[in-house]
């Protein structure tokens, strides 16, 4: 990314953040809801990006973790407990389950792991649906309150959107720090070549489990925001298709790229809305768009950008080389 | 234990259908490393193709023939040329994601162009009951079972007894070596896609009269077939057959003896246990890890 230049990148970042804060101020209720949903799904997709993009493990259970977080928030806040307590419970619970679910990852690879997590996803859905005493089953939990943050009520859509955006900001900073820490470098080493990572003294077992557990915990974080966002949850949104959607978000945005989940979630959440004018055709067009994108660039949207920048850099480098060479040749 | 026989026959009948779907799934995986997440939708679509032909006024037998031909064209040839071929060089995961998108697209297309409601579908096996060992067993279950078994036997014979079958197996085991010894690998891969399309069309024909034609019916079926394929052995045709029958029976028995609420969980728990203790599946052979 050196091609853009450091200051331009900072300016771009500030502009995007400013736009995210200012532009929605005159959005209507539905627009704010969609944007909040984008922020929430980005957090869940970031978690999956850590598992998939950095540690190279396919998980089809991220939707289930969002569900666990959402139910934790719904059950606890309707009992009068604060959301921050639910957040703690969700993180601990999802981290622990993610850690346990990571064990098969040590034994089996690729598609087998995908199917273990797929099985977990379906089991979680069955528990949400059938354990009426806890989750109220198919009737769902309604009147989920929105939290007070630092003394501000977030009942109205705009404050709640800022709450989601702020949470996304905190998670992004934490993730930014994580992937630059020795941990993150170990994750990347794990993805690129597990055997070499092992030979470099990286405890692959522990890091694989860690990537799974942290990724899952972020799914739980997204869930605790999702419940107060919709203020009503039932098992349906947390079925397998949410896990598949999240996986698509990560791949479409660009797995292993920091900003991949942001773009992927934008496409998965906003594109169907923009295509809504096509009425019943929007999901069809969305599916076709995803397929075409993957055929064109299997590394997602950021993969295209990355390729373009690499090409430019290579061209610039070979141009420099040519200049240097001609100078050498013309030198006396 | 009075209705155990009924449960077994019904379980084997659905299991045989799962086996058809699972076999196609393993064939695609073996020859071209394709994990088809749309396999369930592949079973859903042929029934609608046949219904569409019938709505145009054609008799049932003609609808079946046209439905199978369309399925070969769309789900066999079209799927391979338009999606798998351009994506294959990118590796397993992007292709798997693309088939997920394909599944969404197929579901939405059927919902949009046909109907969101479940439609009845005529059965090729007559309704009625027969008495076996003093018990009433539905002719439909028996007929479905018989037809599915016949197809499975035919397929195994094709794979094990004919020269084309041997060439397909060689392709599945090692495409490079197969190419060196003169097997037309490309043609064999295309053939597996066509066989898969034929199997899903047949499964569609057999299962839709039981569960009605609905745009979303592929979800459950696809998952059952995946589980069957993995339980039996991802890389073995006979594993997929055994897995299919096993899942069908376990599913039916679980519905009767465990709880109806958690019946869907029983095959999944079976799946997790098998993956943990025998990741290659009951009849599968371990795959070598490539680094």
Least Cα distance to A220 among A62, A102, A14 occurs for A62
For residue B83, the model assigns a pLDDT of 92
Q: Which chain A residues have a beta carbon less than 8 Å from that of B219?
A: 240
**Helix (H), strand (E) at residue A148:** strand A148-149
Band of residue A213 on the pLDDT scale cut at 50, 70, 90:
very high
Q: Which residue has the higher pLDDT, B289 or B219?
A: B219
- CA A35 to chain CA centroid, Å, is 15
Band of residue A74 on the pLDDT scale cut at 50, 70, 90:
very high
- The top-scoring range by mean pLDDT among A50-59, A64-73, B24-33 is A64-73
Q: Which residue has the higher pLDDT, B48 or A194?
A: B48
For residue B6, the model assigns a pLDDT of 78
What is the share, in percent, of chain A residues with pLDDT greater than 90? 35
For the segment A266-288, what is each residue's pLDDT rounded down to a tens digit?
Answer: 988 888 777 777 777 878 888 88
For the segment B3-20, what is each residue's pLDDT rounded down to a tens digit?
Answer: 787 788 888 888 999 999
A286 touches chain B (CB under 8 A): yes
The total of other beta-carbon atoms located within 10 Å of residue B224's CB is: 24
* B223·A126 Cβ contact <8 A: no
Average confidence score pLDDT of chain A: 86
**Please, are residues B203 and B193 in contact by the beta-carbon 8 Å criterion?**
no
**Please, are residues A167 and A159 in contact by the beta-carbon 8 Å criterion?**
no
Min distance A160 CA to chain B CA atoms (Å): 31
- In angstroms, rounded to a whole number, what is the distance separating the alpha carbons of residues B291 and B289? 6
- In angstroms, rounded to a whole number, what is the distance separating the alpha carbons of residues A71 and A39? 19
What is the rounded average pLDDT of the residues B28-56? 91
For the segment B208-221, what is each residue's pLDDT rounded down to a tens digit?
Answer: 988 888 888 888 88
* B108·A298 Cβ contact <8 A: no
Min distance A242 CA to chain B CA atoms (Å): 12
Q: Which residues contact A124 (CB under 8 A, 6 or more apart)?
A: A61, A64, A67, A68, A238
Q: Which residue has the higher pLDDT, A151 or B24?
A: B24
Band of residue A22 on the pLDDT scale cut at 50, 70, 90:
confident
3-state secondary structure chain B: CCCHHHHHHHHHHHHHHHHHHHHHHHHHHHHHCCCCCCHHHHHHHHHHHHHHHHHCCCCHHHHHHHHHHHHHHHHHHHHHHHHHHHHHCCCHHHHHHHHHHHHHHHHHHHHHHCCCCCECCCCCCCCCEEEECCEEEEHHHHHHHHHHHHHHHHHHHHHHHCHHHHHHHHHHHCHHHHHHCCCCHHHHHHHHHHHHHHHHHHHHHHHHHHHCECCCCHHHHHHHHHHHHHHHCCCCHHHHHHHHHHHHHHHHHHHHHCCCCCCCHHHHHHHHHHHHHCCCCCCCCCCCCCC
For the segment B175-220, what is each residue's pLDDT rounded down to a tens digit?
Answer: 888 888 888 888 999 999 999 999 999 999 998 988 888 888 888 8
| Closest Cβ opposite residue A130 in set B90, B261, B291 | B261
Band of residue A109 on the pLDDT scale cut at 50, 70, 90:
low
Q: Which chain A residues have a beta carbon less than 8 Å from that of B275?
A: 104, 107-108, 112, 115-116
**Please, are residues A81 and A98 in contact by the beta-carbon 8 Å criterion?**
no
Residue A3 predicted with pLDDT over 70:
no
The CA–CA distances, whole Å, from A122 to A64, A136, A139, A186, A195 equal 8, 18, 19, 31, 32
For the segment B109-163, what is each residue's pLDDT rounded down to a tens digit?
Answer: 999 888 888 888 888 877 777 777 667 777 888 888 888 889 888 988 888 888 9
Q: Which residue has the higher pLDDT, A82 or A332?
A: A82
| Closest Cβ opposite residue A126 in set B83, B86, B265 | B265
Min distance A321 CA to chain B CA atoms (Å): 32
What is the rounded average pLDDT of the residues A99-126? 80
């Amino acid at each position: 990314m050196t091609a853009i230049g450091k200051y331009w990148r900072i300016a771009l970042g500030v502009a995007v953040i400013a736009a995210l804060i200012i532009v929605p101020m005159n959005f209507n209720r539905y627009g704010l809801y969609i944007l909040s949903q984008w922020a929430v799904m980005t957090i869940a997709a970031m978690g999956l990006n850590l598992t998939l993009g950095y540690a190279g493990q396919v998980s089809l259970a991220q939707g289930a973790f969002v569900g666990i977080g959402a139910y934790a928030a719904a059950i606890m806040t309707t009992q009068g407990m604060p959301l921050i307590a639910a957040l703690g419970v969700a993180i601990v619970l999802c981290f622990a389950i993610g850690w346990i679910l990571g064990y098969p990852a040590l034994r089996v690879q690729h598609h087998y792991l995908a199917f273990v997590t797929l099985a977990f996803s379906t089991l979680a859905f069955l528990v949400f649906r059938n354990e009426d005493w806890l989750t109220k089953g198919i009737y769902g939990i309604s009147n989920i309150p929105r939290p007070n943050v630092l003394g501000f009520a977030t009942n109205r859509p705009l404050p709640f959107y800022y709450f989601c955006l702020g949470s996304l900001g905190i998670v992004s900073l934490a993730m930014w720090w994580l992937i630059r820490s020795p941990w993150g470098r170990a994750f990347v080493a794990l993805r690129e070549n597990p055997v070499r990572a092992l030979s470099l003294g990286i405890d692959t077992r522990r890091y694989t489990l860690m990537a799974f557990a942290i990724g899952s915990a972020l799914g739980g974080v997204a869930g605790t925001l999702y419940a107060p966002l919709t203020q009503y949850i039932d098992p349906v949104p947390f079925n397998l298709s949410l896990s598949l959607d999240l996986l698509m978000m990560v791949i479409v945005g660009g797995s292993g790229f920091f900003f991949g989940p942001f773009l992927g979630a934008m496409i998965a959440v906003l594109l169907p809305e923009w295509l809504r004018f096509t009425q019943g055709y929007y999901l069809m067009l969305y599916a076709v768009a995803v397929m075409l994108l993957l055929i064109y660039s299997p590394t997602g949207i950021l993969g295209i950008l990355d390729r373009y920048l690499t090409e430019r850099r290579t061209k610039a480098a070979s141009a420099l080389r040519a200049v240097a060479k001609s100078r050498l040749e013309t030198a006396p | 234990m009075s209705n155990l026989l009924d449960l077994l026959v019904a379980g084997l009948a659905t299991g045989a259908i799962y086996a058809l779907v699972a076999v196609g799934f393993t064939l695609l995986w073996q020859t071209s490393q394709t994990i088809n997440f749309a396999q369930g939708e592949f079973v859903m679509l042929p029934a609608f193709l046949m219904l569409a032909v019938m709505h145009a006024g054609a008799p049932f037998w003609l609808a079946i023939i046209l439905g199978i031909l369309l399925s070969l064209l769309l789900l066999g040839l079209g799927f391979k040329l338009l999606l798998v071929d351009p994506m294959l060089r990118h590796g397993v995961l992007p292709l798997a994601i693309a088939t997920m998108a394909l599944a969404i697209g197929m579901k939405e297309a059927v919902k949009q162009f046909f109907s969101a409601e479940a439609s009845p579908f005529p059965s090729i096996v007559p309704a009625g009951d027969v008495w076996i060992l003093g018990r009433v067993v539905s002719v439909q279950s028996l007929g479905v079972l018989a037809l599915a078994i016949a197809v499975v036997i035919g397929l195994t014979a094709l794979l094990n007894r004919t020269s084309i079958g041997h060439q397909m197996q060689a392709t599945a085991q090692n495409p490079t070596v197969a190419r060196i010894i003169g097997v037309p690998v490309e043609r064999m891969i295309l053939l597996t896609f066509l066989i898969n399309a034929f199997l899903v069309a047949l499964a569609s024909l057999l299962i839709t009269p039981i569960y009605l034609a609905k745009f979303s019916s592929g979800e459950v079926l696809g998952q059952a077939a995946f589980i069957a394929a993995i339980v039996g052995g991802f890389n073995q045709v006979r594993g997929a057959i055994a897995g299919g029958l096993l899942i069908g029976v376990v599913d039916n028995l679980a519905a009767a003896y465990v709880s109806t609420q958690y019946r869907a969980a029983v095959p999944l728990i079976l799946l997790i246990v098998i993956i943990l203790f025998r990741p290659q599946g009951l009849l599968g052979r371990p795959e070598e890890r490539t680094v």
